[in-house]
């Protein structure tokens, strides 16, 4: 999945699954990501000051398109998002943006897309039109096809994951503290004491750490003194690690990468 970067701001992937315990929470996070993707103000983005940020916040940005279940004739929401809605969205995404550099599509309750709609969405996510950004908001990602999920970067806000493995959480916390300390020795020490982890556990750890960083970027967890640039870099690094683990790259290499690239300033691709 190609990643669009908004110069050092929140890394905006072309397809993101925004998971939260409530749909409102997911939509709030999605609006923040949309603003970051369109923002032309100073960093950190979203700046919340430029005309794009202000329009997104007021819900009147012409290049942020929100799609959800339609209403029936009695004003009640229909059960599903239909394939026609996704086809319309797909056609629209080929049209140039009105004001911003790109268009952002937010799909509310993405899990209510029926199967044909999900398959249409999958096609779109596999070959997204240049510059279009898709944010799939959901409280229940398991109801989406695995193929759809796997095309998306995942951001988990708040307590969506339910009861997390406490040990994984403290591992993620220890890793982020080591990264925040700015001490390479500390970070190397932490990485080398964990590199014997098995691949599955390492993947869970990376997921958990990404979730934590996502929470920090959403402002839901304390940032441990990490700037949004640092958090963004760490998030991108963890995304790389997750991709490598899926390719069965050895855990030692993953922890080696974390040891070298988690502290900005040297050896970091930025
Ligand atoms: Zn802005």
Asked if residue 252 lies in contact with residue 260, where contact means CB atoms within 8 angstroms, the answer is: no
Measured between alpha carbons, how far apart are the two ends of the chain, in Å?
Answer: 18
Q: Write down the pLDDT at residue 67.
A: 97
Summarised one tens digit per residue, pLDDT across range 84-132 is: 999 999 999 999 999 999 999 999 999 999 999 999 999 999 888 988 9
CA atoms within 13 A on the CB side of 68: 11
**What pLDDT does residue 169 have?**
85
CB 137 within 8 A of CB 18: yes
- pLDDT (0 to 100) of residue 2: 40
User: What is the 125 CA–ligand 1 centroid distance (Å)?
Assistant: 26
Q: Cβ neighbours of residue 244 under 8 Å, at least 6 residues apart? A: 253, 254, 257
Kindly give, in sequence order, each residue whose CB lies less than 8 Å from that of residue 231, ignoring residues fewer than 6 positions away: 213, 216, 217, 223
> What whole-number percentage of the chain has pLDDT above 70?
90
Is 80 exceeded by the pLDDT of residue 20? yes
Long-range contacts: 195-202, Cβ < 8 Å, 24+? 195/251, 195/252, 195/255, 195/256, 196/251, 197/251, 197/255, 198/251, 199/245, 199/248, 199/250, 199/251, 202/245, 202/251, 202/254, 202/255
Longest CA–CA separation in the chain, Å: 65
Q: What pLDDT does 262 receive?
A: 92
Please say if the pLDDT value at position 9 is more than 50.
no
Distance (Å) from CA 41 to ligand 1 centroid: 4
What contacts 24+ positions apart, CB below 8 Å, involve 55-63?
56/31, 57/31, 61/34, 61/99, 61/100, 62/97, 62/98, 62/99, 63/38, 63/97, 63/98, 63/99, 63/100, 63/102, 63/103, 63/104
Per-residue confidence at 267, pLDDT binned at 50, 70, 90?
very low
Tell me the mean pLDDT in the region 65-85.
96
Cα–ligand 1 centroid distance for 150 (angstroms): 30
How far is ligand 1, taken at its centre, from the CA of residue 56, in Å? 9
Mean pLDDT, rounded, for 236-255:
91
Task: Please give the structure tokens belonging to residue 237.
Answer: 């690094």
Task: Please tell me the distance between residue 44's alpha carbon and the centre of ligand 1 in angstroms.
Answer: 9
Q: State yes or no: pLDDT of 7 exceeds 70.
A: no
d(CA 160, CA 54): 28
Q: In angstroms, what is the span from residue 170 Cα to ligand 1's centroid?
A: 34
Distance 46 CA to ligand 1 centre (A): 5
Distance separating alpha carbons of residues 173 and 226, to the nearest angstrom: 12
The rounded Å distance from CA 128 to ligand 1 centre is 24
pLDDT band at 163 (very low <50, low <70, confident <90, very high): very low
User: So what's the pLDDT on residue 159?
Assistant: 56
Cα 140 to averaged position of ligand 1 atoms, centre (Å): 30
Task: Report whether 137 contacts 110 (CB < 8 A).
Answer: yes
> Across residues 121-150, what is the average pLDDT?
90
Mean pLDDT of 239-250: 89
Residue 1 has pLDDT above 50, yes or no: no
Residue 27 has a pLDDT of: 95
Q: Render 224-257 in DSSP notation, one character per residue.
A: TT--HHHHHHHHHHHHHHHHHHHTT--HHHHHHH
């Amino acid at each position: 999945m190609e990643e669009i970067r908004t110069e050092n701001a929140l890394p905006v992937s072309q397809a993101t699954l925004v998971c939260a315990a409530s749909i409102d929470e997911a939509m709030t996070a999605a609006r923040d990501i949309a603003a970051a993707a369109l923002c032309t103000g100073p960093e950190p983005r979203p700046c919340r000051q430029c005309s794009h940020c202000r329009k997104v916040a007021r819900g009147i940005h012409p290049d942020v398109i929100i799609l959800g279940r339609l209403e029936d004739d009695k004003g009640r929401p229909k059960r599903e998002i239909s394939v026609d809605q996704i086809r319309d969205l797909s056609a629209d995404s080929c049209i140039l943006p009105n004001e911003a550099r790109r268009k952002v599509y937010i799909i509310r309750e993405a899990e209510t897309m029926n199967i044909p709609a999900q398959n249409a969405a999958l096609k779109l996510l596999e070959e997204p039109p240049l510059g279009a950004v898709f944010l799939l908001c959901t409280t229940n990602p398991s109801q989406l096809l695995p193929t759809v999920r796997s095309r998306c970067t995942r951001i988990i806000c708040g307590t969506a994951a339910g009861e997390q493995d406490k040990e994984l959480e403290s591992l993620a916390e220890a890793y982020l503290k080591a990264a925040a300390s700015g001490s390479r020795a500390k970070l190397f020490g932490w990485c080398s004491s964990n590199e014997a982890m098995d691949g599955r556990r390492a993947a869970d750890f990376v997921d958990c750490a990404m979730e934590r960083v996502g929470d920090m970027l959403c402002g839901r967890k304390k940032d441990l003194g990490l700037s949004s640039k640092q958090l963004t870099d760490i998030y991108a690094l963890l995304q790389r690690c997750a991709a490598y683990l899926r390719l069965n790259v050895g855990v030692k290499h993953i922890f080696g990468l974390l040891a070298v690239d988690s502290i900005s300033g040297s050896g970091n691709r930025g």
